[in-house]
Amino acid sequence: MINFQQHFAELGTKALQQLQPELAHDVGMKFLSFDPFRFLPPPTIAPLDVSCQVNVPGIGLLSHPVGLAAGFDKNAVAISALARFGFSSIEIGAVTPLAQAGNPRPRLFRYRSEQSLINRMGFNNDGIEAIRARLNAAKSVADSKATCPLGINIGKNKDTVPGAAIDDFLQVHAGFKNLAQFFVINLSSPNTPGLRELATPEFIAEMARQFGAEVNKIWIKFDPDMNRDTFQKLIEATGDAGMAGLVLTNTHRVTAPESGGLSGRPLLARSNTALEWAWDVHRGKIPMIGVGGILTGRDIVEKISRGASAVQIYTALAYRGPWVVSSLLNEAVIHLRERGFASLTEACGSHY
């Protein structure tokens, strides 16, 4: 049964990859919205032992480190199906207060030879009200909370002036604070004008002040394109503000062969460097989730060794298909043992 399921998923992935990237994504998400695998056993994720467990402060003990990054299920239409793929956490969004269409199509581009994607989506999403209603209607949210924590990636509307951005963030947080286990402020997308410019120590301090007692549930996602000095000042500010942690990193801004944010294999080195620069500041005192360029289990161990408590994937799911989590974990355990570690926890920070 599992072999049939995996074979079917592999055929579906290959078929979708023949379509234009955004059409493929839309078709895939529509299919997953029906939770088509609910009557079948989940893929085997082996070995399910202590070597895979990770503790992410503010989120909890996870059976393994591989979560789904924001951007894949922007509108929470397929969280039940995605949870069945074996993810240890799912981050939806980015969610903005008001629904918005995003940038004109085409806005998603696939580069197989580099195992990469470029997107300039522009925070297309259904807005707070529609997404909240969808989550409230999904009994699976309540059922899966213990095993698959839900995160909300928070963005600002395109038309929101910079001075009102925190109001947008507060609105999204208030709309989901009883439905999600963690929140990630997106100060790093390259596709919303002026968003990255908000990433200053002063803005982070003011944001923390306005979130008040809730600040210790808020993570911040930074971009990989800053110089070291600017980046490390932001890390210091995040620690001083008492925020939950860091998600490192978002996509790399490019202008060719298309303009937008680059993800996948070419992002790995930049995102790993960001983890190293951040560790140099906080020395393990601020939890980190590693994102960017993860396509193999070895990549997971490399991020954990640089101090990440867990990781998130996006492009790997697009290229390797629905059962990628199982494959990545098996590869990670092999690489972990080759390096002489008994667990991912033991490997955390070992790069230094």
Q: Quick one: three-class SS letters along 125-163?
A: ECHHHHHHHHHHHCHHHHHHCCCCCEEEEECCCCCCCHH
Q: How confident is the model at residue 323 (pLDDT cuts 50, 70, 90)?
A: confident
Q: How confident is the model at residue 34 (pLDDT cuts 50, 70, 90)?
A: confident
pLDDT (mean) for 23-29: 89
**189 is annotated as an active-site residue:** yes
State the pLDDT at residue 43: 57
Q: Is the pLDDT of residue 144 over 60?
A: no
CB of 296 within 8 A of CB of 327?
A: no
Q: What is the mean pLDDT of the chain?
A: 90
Q: Choose between 160 and 36: higher pLDDT.
A: 160
Does domain 2-347 bear CATH number 3.40.605.10? no
pLDDT (mean) for 171-191: 96
Q: What is the percent of the chain where pLDDT is above 90?
A: 74
164 contact partners, CB below 8 Å, separation of at least 6: none
CB of 335 within 8 A of CB of 304?
A: no
CA distances (Å), origin 337, targets 6, 44, 129, 346: 26, 20, 47, 11
CB of 157 within 8 A of CB of 165?
A: no
Catalytically annotated residue among 80, 89, 189, 271 = 189
∠ CA 116-93-221, nearest 5°, is 70
Q: How confident is the model at residue 146 (pLDDT cuts 50, 70, 90)?
A: very low
CB of 95 within 8 A of CB of 155?
A: yes
pLDDT (mean) for 69-79: 96
Read off the pLDDT of residues 208-262 as tens digits, 9 standing for 90 and up.
999 999 999 999 999 999 999 999 999 999 999 999 999 999 999 999 999 999 9
